[in-house]
């Protein structure tokens, strides 16, 4: 059976399971490498069960090198029958420098103003990095990949896929992105 045309450009994405910072409502950027908490591991297992029921099945997992995304990917891989995992470091969350472990409520206005965190990564640099990584991930589309990433990476992928509203994904949320148009558009 061949995939429908839209299926060939579909990238399944799941946000990593919860960390301590997530549960406390604190910022956790890509320059803060936290592990999952037990609730996050349970979320990853539940996401894996949802993913296992999808068709066509996932045959490859792509993730950043952050502990929280790798651990989520490993849990999903195990439940799916040891699906291969590929690391793509450029899919790490935005570096938040001095905003790490600060209240999301307190820092959200700064992000909405487009400010760059002291010691962190600019929004433009983060968006460009994720877009370049997404172009590399396109090579894996025939393998029906699952991308395990962070909230910010999901936001950028949503923008790249043409979503009109900003994504705000919960831990272990699953969404499909259609990215085939990036081949011709590129990630400038």
Q: Report in angstroms the alpha-carbon separations of 27 from 107, 133, 145.
A: 8, 23, 28
110-138 per-residue burial string, b: 16 or more CB within 10 A, e: under 16: ebeeeebbeebbebeebbebbbebbbebb
* Sole residue written with tokens 């059976």: 1
Q: Give how far the C-alpha of residue 23 lies from the chain's centroid of Cα atoms, to the nearest Å.
A: 18
Catalytic residue among 16, 71, 88, 121: 16
Catalytic residue among 71, 88, 93, 121: 93
38 is catalytic: no
Instruction: Tell me how far apart the alpha carbons of residues 158 and 55 are, in angstroms, rounded to a whole number.
Output: 21
93 is catalytic: yes
Residues annotated as part of the active site: 16, 93
């Amino acid at each position: 059976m061949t995939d429908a045309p839209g299926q060939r450009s579909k990238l399944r994405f799941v946000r990593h399971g919860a960390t301590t910072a997530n549960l406390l409502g604190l910022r956790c950027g890509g320059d803060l490498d936290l592990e999952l908490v037990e609730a996050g591991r349970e979320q990853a297992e539940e996401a894996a069960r949802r993913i296992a029921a999808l068709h066509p099945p996932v045959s490859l997992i792509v993730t950043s090198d952050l502990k929280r995304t790798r651990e989520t990917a490993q849990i999903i891989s195990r439940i799916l029958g040891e699906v291969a995992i590929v690391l793509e470091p450029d899919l790490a969350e935005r570096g938040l420098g001095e905003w790490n472990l600060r209240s999301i409520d307190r820092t959200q206005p700064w992000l909405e103003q487009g400010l760059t965190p002291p010691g962190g990564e600019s929004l433009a640099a983060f968006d460009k990095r994720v877009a370049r990584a997404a172009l590399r991930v396109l090579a894996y589309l025939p393998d029906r990949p699952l991308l395990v990433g962070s909230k910010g990476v999901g936001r950028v992928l949503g923008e790249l896929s043409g979503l009109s509203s900003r994504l705000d994904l919960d831990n272990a949320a699953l969404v499909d992105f259609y990215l085939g148009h990036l081949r011709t558009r590129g990630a400038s």
